[in-house]
Chain A
Amino acid sequence: MFKSILNKSRRLVGIGSMAAALAAAAPVMAQDKEPIVFGGSIPLSGVFAFAGVHLHAGLTDYTTWVNSEGGINGHPVKYVMEDTGYEVDRSVAAFKKITGSNKVPVYYGDSTGFMKTIASELNSRGTTLMSGASFATALTDNEQYPYQFIPGPNYSQMFGIILEYIATQGKDGDMPTVAFVYSDTEFGKDPVENGKAKAAEMGIKVVEEIVTKPGSVDVSAEILKLRRVRPDFVVFHGYVLSPINEFMVQMRQMGLDTQFMGTFWSSDKLIINKMGADADGYMGVMPYNYYDSAESGPMLDALRATAEKSDPDAGYRPTGYMQGWFNAMVWTEVVKRTMDAGKELTAENMAESLASIENWDTGGIIGIPVTVKDMSFPVGRIWRVNAKEARYEPVSDWIHLD
């Protein structure tokens, strides 16, 4: 325990020294041009801190990398953030503080709640394009949220990708059956109605729908319900770890051969690290290649090299890191496209640039060229846990929804 604290302290000292070195080197690196500010309300503490620290690391490392490559069209990039504790009011305060003292063309929002709350201000300012930790379906409504985008598929699209995969798993012409298990939160409920509609359209029968109370709860009663309907697949949404483990372990104890799948935030290596052998066979939809996947590409290699350099002791970087990096990559592309078109960096111009992204090669972060649709990147791949190797392995091709 104390060793772990000591390691963390050493790591922080290391990061501090690196930050100091970068600051010292800044005058040499900095071009004369005005810096482009990446703003962020970042949940370094609070309930989402487990992901927030990695999102922050991804954004920080990308900024370091892009500056080492000459910035964006010669403009250095400056990442300015505040910790929000994953509280909407603190996120709003951070947004006002950061945008009040900087010209901020792009901004990272830490939650769906914050991104919805700030939408009207974002719309009236017209200065900033926002993305963040949220994959909420609602944020891809262009009428209401014209200046916000999703750095991957939204949750409904994730369900769509999962259902596309499930549809290929039928035997003897029969479609598999599926059950949805989700938390009783806005996050948990997000894709369920669209998921049911998509399943009906594809001829997949949703045999049970389980809603669980948030927090540490016993789910054995819910598992008993699933035992009666014996679904071929259970799709989880709105969780990070528990109660996925309990569903998997207890249903296997009952002798069911159900397969288990989850969406972005429940498809990190945390599941493998904490569940061990019980995680074997669990599948997740992921829009990005995993840090330790066998895939490669110029940007993925750069990501790995930068991550290794910034914190050599960190080892594997979670999906939150990839997400933070990809967000900043999209911002860079959007800012660059807007500048190249000779336009001002307004929210409207940048939203147009975003919408123009077609067959974009992400350098291996996503395995196929991607096209923006309705302010999202509707692409993903199904990965399955190989517990022995302690990693996710791809079991489907990349699926790009139309």
Chain B
Amino acid sequence: MLNFLQNLLRFPKTLLAVTLLISAIFFFVMKENTRMETDLDDYMPQEHPAFVYSNQAEERFHIQDGVIIAIENKDGIYNSGTLQKVKDLTKELQKMDEIDKDDVTSLYTADNIIGTETGLDVKPFYKRVPESKEKLEALRKSVRDNEMIYERLVNNNETVTVVIAEIKDDVFSQEFYHRLLDLAKTYEGPEKLYVAGRPIVEGTMAYLGPRDMQRMVPIVIAVIVIVLLMVQRSIKAGIFTLLVVLFSVVWTFGLMAAVNIPIYAVSTMIPVMLIAIGVADGIHLYSHLHIFMRENPQADKRTAAFDMLREMWKPVVMTSVTTAVGFISLLTSEVYPIKYFGLFTAFGVMAAMVFSLLLIPAGTLVFGPPRWKIKNKSGEQHENSFLNAIASLVVRHKYITLFATIIIVAFSIWGTTKVWINSSFLDKFEADSDIVITDTFINENFGGTSTLNVILDSEQEDAFKQPQILEAIDRLQTKVDRSLQVVGNSFSLTDYLKRMNKVMHADSAKYNVIPGTKDLVAQYLLLYEISGDPENLWKVVDYHYQKANLTFQLKSDNSIALNSAIAKIEETLPELQTLGVNVNYAGSGYKGLVFTDLILEGQIKSLALSLLIVVILLSLMFKNVSAGLIGAVPITITAAISFGIMGLLNIPLSTTTALLSSIAIGIGIDYAVHFIERYKIYAAETNDKRLTGGMTMQHSGRAIAFNAIVVIAGFLVLLASVFPPNRALGALVSMNMFTSFTGTVTIMYLLLVSSNIYFKKNK
């Protein structure tokens, strides 16, 4: 390996030129072929039973996410002006390409099932906008009397009405969203319009997150450059360290584009990982070079470069290979974007390794080593004495260190138990953002902006014409509606039947119940088909009355809300099951919940797996099981504290924050390996524990500290982000860097010293 590298380095200029050329090609490929994947359905493992079931149900019952446009008139909506706007807006939405004509629900399109003197009538609430006082009053009354409409399309103090437009699959775009906003704006005054709904939230998030990243990343890089220059005290070193990172990012994304894999939201984490991990190699290499130059001021650039390579290639390869293997363990995930994330980050890490081992020596050969001002000793003395102080403190108070570590880890594990997963999209926005304000407004006035579809299944044909079963469903609806604050309302076949039964009995409230016999149910349904729009019926039940769709409207899309509703529903499971009815769930909210669970499960699995792999690899590399175990300590501590803090600070796990545990692996390994490797070398050289400790701190410890400072400084920039998940990301990455560093120079160092592994011969 070393020989191979040295052979390549005989042509440093060619090497630099070739790398630059390939990078340029990759950059071009990346620019031309990269595509973003924002459709969240594409993230989910389509073959997973929960998704298969949900997708089937969505197709069967035409379940689509709706955009909700609320029209508020503080003086009440029952005036011809506002009603005209409802009508016009409905019609304009129906004409949009992204919306099916039949999928717009408003007071203008809704069916009003009413009883007349002689019979039953299903008709619109209005066609021509009512003008006279009497007609407006009649409309108000007919809405109030219809429990299928009141508080669903009009709020209870009659100042807000909603127009709901279900959006076709895969058509939501920012352009469409802005068209909707512009459209809504034209209807303002005196009415106020609000645009909300899951497609809006999802679409905006998919757009805002990456856009915010695009804005923040240059600043992050700039800060990293500045801090790199400050700690490395050399422009050359800074540039080459950074080039390693940049090239590895370009190659990774170039490769993704070349093999036609789109960029998913989690892919934006790849550069984050590569920056955090990639700078390490450069820092360690230059740190070594710096020490070498200080000790051998007369050495020529060739000697310096080759000494650096000879001394450092092993830890660089070891750290990179273990880190890459750690990321490859993400292939066990069921979620494709995460598999890709693991695979390509691993590639990026390996690329960074190659660049570190080739570009940095080549750069040194071509441009000469960085010209450090060797005289500037006081500063270094300062740093070193700080690290040495830590080292001696730790060793002197080893029980305190041990005890403190145990306490911190135990506390973290306790915190870990409090970690909750949040599949909410809305929670990712600022509390005072338009999206949240609009959503809150609609939730206050109506059932809710989020939905949970409960799919009821029976083996038996016509099951959902059986009064017994229908009554059980009705009880379920009432129970969940009433007992949970977060559930706004529910809708199913029972609502049609109760309404029909009531109006067929002269609007008597006594008959607002499920009809008593199966024949009557069937005949009402036939009557509805004859007089109404049967299309609506197929949104709640299938042709054979074997499957039914019960929709709950929720005032929050977060996992707690969904889980509480599901838990309540599950309570009625035994009763439904004795009636031969099975319960499943569907809809985008539910899929999001399952999806987040999958990510977390995969993440924990891969974390455990990679920890095991790391221990084995390190044991093999250091030819010592104790070293392997000690090397795993920083990773374990970092991961435990990372999850623990999230639990304690009530930061929910989400797709991005869950992936952060991967950083623990990447960084933890780097620190541990470099440190142990150096410790081993110095131990062999000096045979003196104290001296070894001090020298290791000066060499690896210093590099580790630099690495941590650089990345922490860079990622702290994200705290200024406007997108809360990106802020959490910045804070957590910084924290992980800090705990990795602290864990390495304290507890791991202590264990290393106490274990005596590299001093056995002495004893």
A and B together in one complex: no
Residues of B within 8 A of A (CB): none
